[in-house]
Amino acid sequence: MPLAHLDRPFDYAVPEAMAAEIRAGCRVRVRFAGQLVDGFVLELADTTEHGGKLAPLAKLVSAEPVLSPEVSVLARSVADRWGGTVTDVLRLAVPPRRAAAEKRPVPEPPPLPPAPDPAGFARYPTGPALLTAVGEGRPARAVWTALPGEDWPARLVELCQAALSGGRGALVVAPDGKDLDRLAAAAEQRLPPGSFVVLRADAAPDARYRRFLDVVRGSARVVLGTRAAVYAPVADLGLVAVWDDGDDLHAEPRAPYAHARDVLLHRAHLASCAAVVAATARTAEAQLLVESGWAHELAAERIALRAAAPRVQALGADAELARDPAARTARLPSLAHRVARQALADGAPVLVQVPRAGYAPGLACDRCRAPARCAVCSGPLGISPTPGPGGSRVPACRWCARPAATFDCPHCHGTKLRASVVGATRTAEELGRAFPGAAVRVSGRGSGVLPTVPGGPALVVATPGAEPVAEGGYGAALLLDSWALLGRADLRAGEETLRRWLNAAALVRPATAGGQVVVAADAAHAVVQALVRWDPGWLAGRELADRRALGFPPATRIAALSGSPQALAEFLEAARLPADADLLGPVPEPPRPGQEGERERYLVRVPRGEGVALAAALAEVQGVRSAKKVPEHVRVQLDPLDLV
């Protein structure tokens, strides 16, 4: 039941007619409060603690045991840890039923593969030992910082192969479909046919349920998927792994809002299996795993790193400023021009990363620089990447879509506009003029994400996360508009900026092959220094130390409570918070879609060891309010990524 006060199992009697087919994990329908509702059989027993007469099961929907005991325990544990309900977790864990898929015969399990060649991990001192531990079924835990240019899909699949060769299953989660496609391609080359499935959110319902059944029935022992695959019912789980755990796509936007990385680590603890947190960069959460001793660091020696990394240059060098005094303020300084021209002349593609999609998503008054607003709804004005009739680009409101053919600044009465934010499409136009004759490709929202590009000379303009893989690697990468990333009012601004920069720079050829990276940012900035030295572990350690000193996650656990002022006041009055809880707020919160009225938000902060007690206290209040049928809902989210 989705109601918080009914978040517990209920006992029912099994009719004789169903006794032969009923088993733990199958779907049934029961009568509850006068209505027929769906349910799962959690356990079959001969006795019950219920003192009255048990109501019988109303219907056996399917005899297929789609809810394994391990996933059932995991769902209860995740609900308790993040202050949600089991129903919230199960709607993510078990896909909707498709009867036709259940009628398919059960395929024979494929033969086990041999152990993988450890040569792929040879550049990492403890890499071969990790492969051996996974193959032997030992609960090895590692935070893997991948080298630039590393074929990370192949390495992760080799870990899966090691688990499979030892007779155990594996689960790997990637942030998006582009990365998942690369994992699937690597698995097709290294794993036996039929031994793995790909679970993705954009798959057709029939295909998704069919692949889910392959995992339930044990024919597929390896699961590759996106966020919801963390609950896949892999039998004899021997390995869980997550790629690029800093990507915000791993954060579940639905209750109980658990992060995929944290669920996988919790699952590794429950199943006593190996766990790998892998990325080119490193988050503060991953650094905490290393510093606490829960996981070991898996990183290459500096000599191997220098051989694989491109040359990284930033603005601020005295010689470069003497040559180009305007380099600090120019969007594309002369250094970037020279590096791009050299790469194109060598016949290599050039990657240009810009933080914003679109053409000119932000406009301002040309005279006073005040943000341009719509005269009707006060929404921000911008220019669409799609030209209008006759090739014209007329500014329009990004809220109500009304065109703004004329503009009159309410502050200085200026009539001209300038772009305050330049998007990928506008950047592509500017680069086309700056490098005549060079092919220009755009990858990102609106124009489509390119998975790969050929290795010939071309300019590839991409937004973060949409960078295509170039055949043979890029000759150069230009990282523009650093202020848009570093200047955000976000706890994770520095960490996220380095992650995006490293993911782009990792696609560039090594310095020994002429690969260069130019970042349009001050060389003295700590994040830029971490990029130049290619040292994400240093920045992650610094971030963790700062957050520990200030009492921010992951050193603490924080719950965000959102609702109307009256509802929040009632909620906090009823909450029995831990003694060490620190209440911050309230602060105004903009209404969410479909919500009206004034809204506020509180933050409740506790030491990390009190996180479970905090979740239990908040869940208790939700249950009481649900039982009283309080009309106003309070949104509870533990460990939110965004604290702004």
pLDDT of 157-167, one tens digit each? 999 999 999 99
Omega before 586 cis (within 30°)? Answer: yes
**What is the pLDDT averaged over residues 147-158?**
96
For residues 268 and 581, what is the distance between their CA atoms, to the nearest angstrom?
A: 29
Q: Which residues pair with 145 in a beta bridge?
A: 279
Query: What pLDDT does residue 485 have?
Result: 83
Of the pLDDT bands very low, low, confident and very high (cuts 50, 70, 90), residue 482 is: confident
Q: Percent of the chain at pLDDT above 90?
A: 70
Residue positions in the annotated binding site for Zn(2+)? 365, 368, 374, 377, 397, 400, 409, 412
Residue positions in the annotated binding site? 365, 368, 374, 377, 397, 400, 409, 412
The listed range with the strongest mean pLDDT (1-10, 71-80, 326-335) is: 71-80
Specify the CATH architecture of the domain 555-638. Answer: 2-Layer Sandwich (3.30)
Domain pair 119-304 / 310-360+421-533, same fold: yes
For residues 223 and 408, what is the distance between their CA atoms, to the nearest angstrom?
A: 57
CATH class belonging to 1-65? alpha beta
For residues 6 and 2, what is the distance between their CA atoms, to the nearest angstrom?
A: 7
Question: Is the confidence at residue 319, as pLDDT, over 60?
Answer: no
**Phi and psi, residue 223, nearest 5°:** -120, 125
Domain ranges (residues) in the chain: 1-65, 119-304, 310-360+421-533, 555-638
For residues 544 and 283, what is the distance between their CA atoms, to the nearest angstrom?
A: 9
Query: What pLDDT does residue 105 have?
Result: 87
Region of 481 (left: φ > 0; alpha: ψ -120 to 50; beta: rest) is left
The listed range with the strongest mean pLDDT (377-381, 436-440, 480-484) is: 436-440
**What are 267-287's pLDDT values in tens digits?**
999 999 999 999 999 999 999
196-199 and 222-225 beta bridge pairing: parallel
Tell me the torsion sign for CA atoms 485, 490, 494, 497. negative
Q: Is 329 exposed, middle or buried (CB count within 10 Å of its CB: 0-12, 13-18, 19+)?
A: exposed
Question: What b-and-e string marks burial along 511-547, b requiring 16 or more CB atoms within 10 Å of the CB?
Answer: beebbbbbbbbbbebebbebbeebbbbebbbbbbeeb
pTM for the model stands at 0.89
CATH topology of domain 310-360+421-533: Rossmann fold (3.40.50)
Q: Which two tokens stand for residue 352?
A: 């240009």
Instruction: Give SS3 for 223.
Output: strand
Taken as a whole, the chain contains a residue count of: 644
**Angle at CA of residue 385, ends 382 and 390, nearest 5°:** 100
With a CB cutoff of 8 Å and minimum separation 6, the contacts of 201 are 226, 227, 228
User: What does DSSP assign to residue 373?
Assistant: B
Which element (helix H / strand E) includes 145? strand 141-145
Query: What pLDDT does residue 58 have?
Result: 94
CATH number of 119-304: 3.40.50.300
**What is the pLDDT averaged over residues 556-581?**
93
Question: Is the confidence at residue 587, as pLDDT, over 70?
Answer: yes
The listed range with the strongest mean pLDDT (103-107, 275-279, 569-573) is: 275-279
**What are 19-76's pLDDT values in tens digits?**
999 999 999 999 998 899 999 999 999 989 888 899 999 999 999 999 999 999 999 9
Q: Which two tokens stand for residue 531?
A: 């990029």
User: What does DSSP assign to residue 403?
Assistant: B
